[in-house]
Amino acid sequence: MVKAIGIKKKRRASRGERALDITICAILFVLSLIFLYPLWQVIVASVSDPNVVMKKAGMILFPEGWQVDSYKIVFDNRNIKSGFANTVLYMLAGTGFQYLITLISGFSMSKKNAMLNKPLLFFMMFTMYFGGGLIPTYLLLNKIGLMNNWLVLILPHGVNVWNIIIMRTHMQSIPDSLSEAAYIDGANDASILFKIIFPLSGAVSAVLILFTAVSYWNMWFEPMIYLTERNKYPLQSILREILINNDSNMLTGGLRNTQHIRQMKNQSFQTLVKYANIVVSTVPILVVYPFLQKYFIKGMLVGSLKG
């Protein structure tokens, strides 16, 4: 009798647990669909027949009809091409510059016996909590002639105090014995940094570089207020003109193919071309991020540990 109750209890508990498992897996499945669906709709619609898409207007689960002219137009769009090229340039220059500054100043501040270490740290950290704000910065960059010069996107972002502190913390965790041996052999600080510390900073560097690169990829506000010529715009600023401001010149971007010009007169086809723009500018990142995610996660945890 007692035994029977025990078994019954156990079975009930396990049934409850199975229900819990199933419920959680089901909720997570639905959530995954919610994360994926918006982009799926965009992808599917971008290759569908514009007239069917317009008539249906609701959810489209699979392509309705088929055309890839929307993509041909995107790849012909000289604005998209120049936007991509500019983004790559700004990303490489900005990330490289910021990383170099982070590396050398992180090293400088990691020296435990340097007397100016504390004042330097305060000098840097102060800017994290207090700053001039949008307008004084805007006026200054205007005054020193950086307006409409792409360096306006690079120079003010050279110092990233947060990254410098993470770099400093990492460098301080490297055992002193390594550099001491090199000092005895007559090495100076420069060779210590580049020959000993730098090779040991691969993982932290990857994380910091990745985060800076992403912030350059996403940048649209500063190009909008500081760059006046459209041919200097990075991809996100071009996309803003196309997707948010409905700039049809940006959308067509010097189209010459007469058939495409005729197609673009159709309002719903224009929407599909917008979708194609979204896909072309987003899918490269989405293909790459699953392979890099462990670095992103590491970076996020490093950042939060400091905070």
Stretch 208-237 residues interacting with another protein (CB under 8 A): 214, 217-218, 220-221, 225, 236
Distance CA 58, CA 55 (A): 9
> What is the dihedral sign for C-alpha 203, 209, 212, 215?
negative
User: Does 271 sit near another protein (CB under 8 A)?
Assistant: yes
End-to-end Cα separation, the chain, in angstroms = 58
Continuous H helices in the chain: 2-46, 50-56, 69-76, 78-110, 117-129, 134-143, 161-172, 176-184, 189-191, 202-218, 221-226, 235-239, 248-252, 258-263, 267-306
User: Does 108 sit near another protein (CB under 8 A)?
Assistant: yes
Q: What DSSP letter does each residue of 177-201 carry, written as one string?
A: HHHHHHHHTT--HHHIIIIIIGGGG
Residues numbered 65 to 94 that lie near another protein (CB under 8 A) are: none
In the complex, the smallest distance separating the C-beta of residue 230 from another protein, rounded to whole angstroms, is 15
Q: Rule CB under 8 A: choose which of 6, 8, 11, 13 binds another protein.
A: 13
Residues numbered 121 to 150 that lie near another protein (CB under 8 A) are: 123-125, 127, 129-140, 144
Residue closer to another protein by CB (options 125, 181) is 125
Site string for another protein, 149-188 (x = CB under 8 A): ------xx-xx----x-----------------------x
User: Does 19 sit near another protein (CB under 8 A)?
Assistant: no
# binding residues, another protein (CB under 8 A): 90
Burial class (CB in 10 A: 0-12, 13-18, 19+), 277: buried
Q: Rule CB under 8 A: choose which of 175, 186, 199, 290 binds another protein.
A: 290
User: Does 39 sit near another protein (CB under 8 A)?
Assistant: yes
Residue closer to another protein by CB (options 177, 304) is 304
Residue closer to another protein by CB (options 101, 174) is 101
Residue closer to another protein by CB (options 16, 65) is 16
Stretch that binds another protein, among 56-64, 77-85, 205-213, 248-256 (CB under 8 A): 56-64
Q: How many CA atoms lie within 13 A of 212 on its CB side?
A: 30
Distance CA 19, CA 35 (A): 24
Task: With H, G, I as helix, E, B as strand and everything else as coil, classify residue 4.
Answer: helix
